Amino acid sequence: MTPLLLLFGYSAPVAIGTDLLYAAITKAGGAFSHHRNNNVDWRIVRWLALGSLPTAVLVHIALSRSSFQQSEGFEQLLTTSLGIMLIITSIILIYRNILRKKAIKDEPKKVMELLHRNRKKTTIVMGVVLGICVTLSSVGAGAFAAAILLTIFSQTTAVRIIGSDIAHAVPLTFIAGIGYLLGGFVDFMLLLSLLLGSLPAINLGSKLSNRVPEKILQRLLISILLCLGGYYAIFNNIH
């Protein structure tokens, strides 16, 4: 959503801030549905939140304690962070199945043993990373987080990991979005338009996805993410 809003001419802070609140609202329904179907491991959610929520607050405090938010450097920081996260996400989408299979087979053994022995600490650290990434780019609380969690909790079902990731994304995107709201970087008309537009689009998208092979959809998504990521991380900074 954020790169599309940038292409439509919105500034990076407004695009990211509005998208974060949009994500918090839309993901809440998914989180409730997963919880109702017992597909949320609240232990994982708590561990992630212990790292991510305080980090998101600290990032906003660091950004707002000077006139940095009014400078060109602020927008450049956000667009570069967005580009990097899009590239990382696309790479993870390419290799996530391989990572998952290796994790299930406990390969490499020493790494997996270390991860399994320190799941809580590793998950909290991952939450810190997510707090930084999501606050600066709005990207991370999705394919990126799910792929890492699938590796750390290799014996947990994929649907339960996805449900936990979505449940954690709700408070993280809300807290991160509130920071942008307090800074005056949320467009409420845009937020309302996105919410209204997403309702029929979800129905249309579900119908189209059933007609297009999964591999084609995945390759298309990866290509778009790589192109947009390269543009915002590299090309946009050159110009």
pTM of the full structure: 0.85
Q: How far is CA 66 from the centre of its chain?
A: 27
Mean pLDDT of the chain, nearest integer: 85
Sequence-separated (6 or more) residues with CB below 8 Å from residue 231: 83
* pLDDT, tens digit (0-9, with 9 covering 90-100), for 149-181: 888 887 888 889 889 999 999 999 999 999 999
Q: At 123, phi and psi to the nearest 5?
A: -70, -40
Q: How far is CA 201 from CA 33, 143, 209, 220, in A?
A: 19, 21, 12, 18
At 148, the amino acid letter reads I
Residues in the chain: 239
Query: Is omega for the bond preceding 54 within 30 degrees of 0, making it cis?
Result: no
Task: Return the DSSP state at 147.
Answer: H
What's the number of CA atoms in the CB half-sphere (13 Å) around residue 52?
31
pLDDT band at 140 (very low <50, low <70, confident <90, very high): confident
Question: How many other C-beta atoms lie within 10 A of the C-beta of residue 75?
Answer: 15
Q: Would the CA dihedral through 57, 61, 63, 64 be positive or negative?
A: positive
* pLDDT, tens digit (0-9, with 9 covering 90-100), for 75-101: 888 999 999 988 888 888 887 777 667
pLDDT band at 115 (very low <50, low <70, confident <90, very high): low
